[in-house]
Structure 1
């Protein structure tokens, strides 16, 4: 992913001012910063859900800011995976259903989608339960990671993926997430308030006053 000259405004202030960011294949980048600094908005821009006032966001060989409607949805499904803070699984569906659904929406055949979903869930230690409601918090997050990578994305995004977990579950989910860039050759862009999670990344950046910059101390980046 390559972001160049990203500008985004909210009422009363400029959230991003010519922001620059590069995340290459196989690399993990953690973004930290105080609440309200724009971390989640940055992910929304990278996902194509929020359209910036200026700049380009190149993912998988296309500028997301120039795509609309079905073309944007198709490119997102093929090239971007997303892990949310609370997993956002459909509780009435099984873990396999949740994961396979992402592949089905991207055009995979049913047999292939379910075979791949079950393979990923087993690999990540998620029970093949009848309902996602039966899973623990950590298991739900690992299922969310499986859903995010089933289409072999170019870019994996994660928004506070360990924020709602206890310490043991946090470590397992972080292990899973940070293994993905090497295993699948994707870039990982993660936003977090947790310095222990951020320090696992290849690079830690701080977001403040609309600008991203490297930080030596992950703890200080939150202040």
Structure 2
């Protein structure tokens, strides 16, 4: 799938939970091949922003464009198909199934979407090999923390998404594994042309991004000294 020029275009986003406004007229654009890191204190709404982009929760106002479609206008199976086609997600703890092999975990999204088993497993094996993860003769539960996260990245890339989302993807890793996973993640937009939006508490991880933003008082502002690439 050819890269989408602007995989994420958020305009005037408002979102309130329990009487607390997490987003107030929030704007955000992520372009093809660009990586954007969002930082902010716990409870500032970073993970909520990802949930809104995924269409798991609905904003109170504003437009949330993913690959040219407003997520608020999509419902049911149309939303699921658009999410499956254009969005990849990497979670803090990988969310892999330990009873499956790495190849089975990575191939699973393609199999659920109706892809043939042989093609899905071949692509999964290639992705794992490219990302330096043991793909044969090992259970997912036997992988190191860094390998599991790289396998989670491989799974997120199975559908060749327009936009890759990552929620504290290195938060549970030691320093060496953190650096390895961060290197893999930030190489993805350069190699595939997708956009990437990553939320993190770690300045060393955020510093790898083309653009670093802070979520404060419901709006995103450029980090001091960070330029808009």
TM range (shorter): over 0.9
Structure 2: which 5+ runs fail to align? 1-7
Pair 1:47 & 2:60 matched: no
**Would you say the 8 A contact 1:5–1:56 is kept in 2?**
yes
CA displacement 1:149-200 (0-9 Å, x = unmatched): 1111000000000000000000000000000001111000000000000000
Deviation string 1:3-45 (CA, Å, 9 cap, x unpaired) is 1111100112211011000000100000001111000000111
* 2:73 aligned residue (58, 66, 79): 66
Q: Is the aligned partner of 1:26 residue 2:33?
A: yes
SS at the partner of 2:105?
Answer: helix
Q: Any conservation in 2 of the 1:33–1:208 contact (CA below 8 Å)?
A: yes
| Deviation of the 1:55 alpha carbon | 1.1
Instruction: Give the match's secondary structure for 1:141.
Output: helix
Report SS of the residue matched to 1:165.
coil
* Partner of residue 9, structure 1: 16
Q: Which of 145, 159, 165 is equivalent to 1:157?
A: 165
1:174 aligned residue: 182
Q: What is the CA distance between 1:68 and its match in structure 2? A: 1.1
What is the distance in 2 between the residues matched to 1:107 and 1:98? 15
Distance 1:71 1:93 in 2: 29
SS at match of 1:73: helix
Q: How does 1:1-223 map to 2 (within 5 A)?
A: 1-128=8-135, 129-216=137-224
Q: 1:4, 1:99 → 2: CA distance?
A: 33
Q: Root-mean-square deviation (CA), in Å?
A: 1.1
| Distance in structure 2 (CA, Å) of the matches to 1:80 and 1:107 | 17
Q: Distance in 2 between matches of 1:100 and 1:208?
A: 38
- TM-score normalised by the chain length of structure 1: 0.95
CA distance in 1 between partners of 2:171 and 2:10 (Å): 26
**Could you tell me how far 1:81 is from its partner in structure 2?**
0.2
Measured after TM superposition, the shift of residue 217 of structure 1 is 5.9
Q: Which runs of 4+ in 1 moved over 4 A?
A: none
Asked if the contact 1:9–1:15 (Cα under 8 Å) also holds between the matched residues in 2, the reply is: yes
Corresponding residue pairs, total: 218
The answer to whether the 8 A contact 1:78-1:106 is kept is: no
SS of aligned partner of 1:156: strand
